[in-house]
Amino acid sequence: MRKYLAIALLFSLALVACDKSDEEEKYDPAKVGIVGEWYSAGSDVAVLLSTYFAVDSIYAKFNDNNTYTVESYSQGAKTTMTGTYVQAKSNVGSIWTITLNQTTPTALTSEGIFEITLTSGKYVMRYEVVQTSPNIGATPPTPAAGFGSSNGGALQTMNIQTYRMLVR
């Protein structure tokens, strides 16, 4: 009897270990937006970043409390950016707007849009932002104009970043 009880216990533990966590089941980008951990590397890195700044990968963590940390890697060097963000669901499809108020390494504000889709069972995010303060002459993309609308469309797809969700 003990043998069967031990086997039953091990079997039930195996079933519990294989279940998706409650967090994974509850994640809904339509409700929480950008919250989670994201990674971009290789051809997913925006052409503007990879070409002009030699960025090869980016890790981004957006917290529930509207703070963020972004680590950008370029030729082995890491730059860490932190700050706060505000996101809002737009009235255009599944596109959200985002404003990032960076505090380190320098204070600046960036604005843009993002969209999260479920692709092959994984969450994928398109993300396009530009610095708006201090003013460098860039204009942010808008939900109505869509992706590729930074600087009135002058940058085309060069400023579109693709992220893949790591964890929520």
Q: How far apart are CA 116 and CA 68, in angstroms?
A: 17
Contacting residues for 132 by C-beta, under 8 A, at least 6 apart: 109, 110, 111, 138, 139, 140
Residue 71, CB half-sphere, CA atoms under 13 Å: how many? 8
When divided into structural domains, the chain yields a total of 1
| 90, part of any domain | yes
Contacting residues for 58 by C-beta, under 8 A, at least 6 apart: 39, 40, 41, 45, 49, 70, 71, 72, 73, 161, 163
| 18, part of any domain | no
Q: Which domain holds residue 55?
A: 23-167
| 6, part of any domain | no
The domain that holds 125 is classified in CATH as 2.40.128
| 16, part of any domain | no
pTM of the model: 0.82
| 95, part of any domain | yes
| 43, part of any domain | yes
Per-residue pLDDT of the chain (168 residues; tens, 9 = 90+): 443 333 333 334 333 444 444 444 567 888 899 999 999 999 999 999 999 999 999 999 999 999 999 999 999 899 999 999 999 999 999 999 999 999 999 999 999 999 999 999 899 999 999 999 999 999 999 999 999 999 999 989 999 999 999 965
